[in-house]
């Protein structure tokens, strides 16, 4: 949590809404914006980031759809770097992501605060009132959970006269969740549409995601957020992570007990130190499953590491105490010989937005609830410049059987214009399986998924499994669904393009 900074520059000295806005979207304006940001940032911003920021600065709404790790969040902090006297509200799906962003923004000199149940409780112990600090305009960016927007304190915050004068931007991170979660799991996402009428007319809206499907889902999210069609800038970029190889594996051993032999290969017999294996994120669909998987992996550790087994195989989830979460998040950034953790077992608490640079191996165990969840999770891999990673997804045999049944019933459902082997979601499938019917996590905002559910009720995920069964390039199939450019050539690196057997389990004596 950030300590209280001094108040932002007085709006009475420069009431930005009353002044004539500089036209940032002209060619001279874009050049001026680039020069300004290059002076403030430790890297060279991309052209699309400059244009998106310029659009926000002139009051347009922006929907940015770009690959995981592409730098979408730069749009709201670049805005703050240029208009340092304004306030930006960011709705974020997890407490972990909020704290991670606050920490990273402080390194850029941006004053940021996260207001959620955990930070409010910690602040109360310190005798601080975070709502009062935010209302006093001490921060440029304030992060909230979607649940917070229904509280009286949030309404009081956005109705404060000084806050309203400064409130230039309202951003929704991971906006695809408005459609995926809003119907039943986290209904607060469905209430985001109520916020815009509360805000000043000059407040621009920003929606960010890597996994928004064209057509029905894009229209649903645009409508739910109240994005203004007449002032909407849509930047749909290539969302494929070209440096992450996608590997689908069918489970060979039962995973309903306390043994998970498909994962034995993660702990090699030669292991003597956590740094002997690549940094690994292992996603489970529930906290309960994650506990069993972590416990099992700890039994495979050599005797020399079993004393520190809870650190070597670390289980991160939403029910951990605040200090445990803080230690766990810090461990994500350890590297080299100082690294204490070989495998982080987690849920969707780390499923979106987190920006660790050096995880080259991400595993989904087992079938994710949706294609978006799968892409978001494996999108944590290889985020550092010049890295290549692997996303491994373990699929239940029952899901494979359901997919085989679907292929037999679907007949000739292919899109022959793109490729006779590539499938696209059919209208009947979308009608039978709306977003709310996909298996969603239950029990909390950061993901404590149920143990059961129709995993392949997500039509798009089912098509990816179908590609796996038919030996079609998985990356091409995903690109066809999201309308990415790469639908002509095979990627040459996924498990369809380069099939390989599952690793053998450790021999049990």
248 & 228 share domain: no
126 & 249 share domain: no
258 & 208 share domain: no
Domain end (from 236, 257, 284): 236
* Residue 484 included in any domain: yes
Predicted pLDDT at 425: 63
344 & 492 share domain: yes
Predicted pLDDT at 448: 40
Confidence of residue 24 (pLDDT cuts 50, 70, 90): very high
Is 80 exceeded by the pLDDT of residue 218? yes
Predicted pLDDT at 194: 87
**How crowded is residue 135: how many other Cβ atoms within 10 Å of its Cβ?**
18
d(Cα 342, Cα 330) in Å, to the nearest integer?
14
Which of 219-228, 407-416, 496-505 bottoms out in mean pLDDT, i.e. has the lowest? 407-416
190 & 317 share domain: no
- Measured CA distances, 471 to 13, 96, 259, 389, 401 (Å): 64, 38, 30, 21, 16
* Residue 16 included in any domain: no
d(Cα 244, Cα 494) in Å, to the nearest integer?
9
What is the pLDDT of the chain when averaged over all its residues? 86
Predicted pLDDT at 417: 33
Confidence of residue 414 (pLDDT cuts 50, 70, 90): very low
171 & 219 share domain: yes
Which of 61-70, 299-308, 431-440, 463-472 bottoms out in mean pLDDT, i.e. has the lowest? 431-440
Q: How does pLDDT run across 318-328, given as a tens digit for each residue?
A: 888 878 888 88
418 & 442 share domain: yes
118 & 254 share domain: no
Confidence of residue 186 (pLDDT cuts 50, 70, 90): confident
Query: With the CA atoms of 185, 448, 265 and 259 taken in that order, what torsion angle do they form, in degrees rounded to the nearest 10?
Result: -120
pLDDT (mean) for 74-99: 93
d(Cα 104, Cα 383) in Å, to the nearest integer?
15
185 & 265 share domain: no
pLDDT (mean) for 101-110: 93
Is 70 exceeded by the pLDDT of residue 446? no
* Residue 276 included in any domain: yes
Which of 29-38, 47-56, 407-416, 425-434 bottoms out in mean pLDDT, i.e. has the lowest? 425-434
Q: How does pLDDT run across 239-250, given as a tens digit for each residue?
A: 999 999 999 999
d(Cα 465, Cα 471) in Å, to the nearest integer?
10
pLDDT (mean) for 249-265: 90
Looking at residue 353, the DSSP 8-state letter turns out to be: S
Supply the range of the domain harboring residue 382. 244-509
Is 80 exceeded by the pLDDT of residue 415? no
* Residue 81 included in any domain: yes
Is 60 exceeded by the pLDDT of residue 354? yes
CA-closest candidate to residue 462, choices 415, 411, 395, 412: 395
* Residue 118 included in any domain: yes
169 & 286 share domain: no
pLDDT (mean) for 341-366: 85
Is 60 exceeded by the pLDDT of residue 13? no
283 & 383 share domain: yes
Please answer whether residues 39 and 145 qualify as being in contact, where contact means their C-beta atoms are separated by less than 8 angstroms.
Answer: no
Predicted pLDDT at 411: 59
Q: What is the pTM of this model?
A: 0.86
Percent of the chain topping pLDDT 90: 65
* Residue 15 included in any domain: no
Domain end (from 236, 258, 277): 236
What is the CATH number for 428? Answer: 3.40.50.300
pLDDT (mean) for 285-291: 93
* Residue 22 included in any domain: no
Domain end (from 236, 258, 280): 236
Predicted pLDDT at 97: 83
pLDDT (mean) for 385-413: 87
- Measured CA distances, 141 to 113, 192, 215, 259 (Å): 6, 18, 32, 45
268 & 169 share domain: no
d(Cα 282, Cα 293) in Å, to the nearest integer?
9
d(Cα 436, Cα 429) in Å, to the nearest integer?
13
Please answer whether residues 130 and 115 qualify as being in contact, where contact means their C-beta atoms are separated by less than 8 angstroms.
Answer: yes
What count of residues does the chain have? Answer: 509
* Residue 18 included in any domain: no
Q: Per the structure, how many domains does the chain have? A: 2
pLDDT (mean) for 463-491: 92
- For the record, the structure tokens of 239 come out as 């969302």
């Amino acid at each position: 949590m950030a300590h209280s900074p001094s108040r932002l520059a007085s709006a009475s000295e420069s009431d930005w809404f009353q002044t004539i806005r500089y036209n940032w979207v002209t060619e001279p304006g874009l050049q001026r914006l680039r020069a300004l940001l290059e002076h403030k940032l430790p890297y060279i911003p991309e052209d699309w980031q400059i244009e998106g920021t310029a659009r926000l600065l002139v009051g347009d709404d922006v929907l940015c759809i770009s690959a995981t790790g592409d730098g979408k969040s730069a749009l709201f902090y670049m805005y703050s770097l240029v208009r340092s006297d304004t306030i930006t509200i960011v709705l974020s799906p997890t407490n972990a992501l909020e704290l991670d962003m606050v920490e990273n923004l402080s390194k850029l000199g941006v004053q940021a605060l996260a207001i959620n149940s955990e930070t409010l409780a910690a602040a109360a112990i310190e005798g601080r009132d975070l709502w009062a600090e935010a209302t006093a305009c001490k921060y440029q960016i304030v992060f909230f959970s979607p649940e917070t927007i229904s509280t009286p304190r949030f309404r009081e915050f956005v109705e404060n006269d000084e806050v309203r004068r400064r409130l230039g931007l309202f951003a929704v991170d991971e906006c695809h969740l408005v459609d995926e979660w809003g119907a039943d799991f986290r209904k607060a996402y469905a209430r985001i549409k109520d916020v815009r009428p509360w805000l000043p007319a000059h407040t621009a809206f920003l929606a960010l995601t890597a996994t928004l499907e064209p057509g029905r889902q894009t229209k649903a999210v645009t409508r739910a957020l109240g994005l203004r069609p007449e002032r909407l800038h849509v930047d749909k970029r290539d969302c494929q992570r070209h440096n992450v190889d996608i590997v689908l594996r069918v489970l060979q051993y039962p995973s309903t007990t306390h043994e998970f032999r498909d994962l034995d290969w993660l702990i090699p017999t030669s292991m003597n130190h956590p740094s002997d294996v690549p940094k690994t994120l292992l996603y489970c669909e529930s906290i309960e499953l994650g506990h069993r998987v972590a416990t099992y992996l700890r039994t495979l550790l050599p005797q020399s590491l079993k004393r520190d087994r809870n650190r070597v195989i670390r289980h991160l989830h939403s029910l951990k105490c605040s200090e445990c979460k803080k230690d766990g998040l810090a461990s994500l950034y350890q590297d080299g010989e100082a690294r204490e953790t070989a495998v982080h077992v987690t849920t969707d608490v780390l499923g979106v937005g987190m920006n660790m640079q050096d995880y080259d191996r991400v595993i989904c165990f087992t079938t994710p609830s949706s294609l978006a969840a799968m892409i978001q999770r494996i999108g944590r891999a290889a985020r550092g410049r010049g890295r290549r990673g692997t996303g491994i997804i373990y699929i239940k045999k029952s899901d494979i059987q359901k997919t085989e049944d679907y292929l037999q019933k679907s007949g000739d459902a292919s899109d022959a214009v793109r490729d006779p082997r590539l499938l696209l979601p059919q209208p009947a499938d979308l009608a039978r399986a709306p977003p709310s019917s996909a298996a969603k996590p239950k029990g909390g905002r950061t993901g404590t998924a149920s143990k059961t559910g129709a995993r392949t009720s997500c039509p798009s995920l089912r098509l990816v499994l179908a590609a796996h069964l038919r030996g079609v390039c998985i990356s091409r199939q995903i690109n066809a669904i999201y309308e990415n450019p790469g639908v002509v050539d095979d990627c040459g690196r996924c498990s369809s393009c380069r099939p390989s057997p599952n690793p053998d389990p450790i021999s049990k004596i």
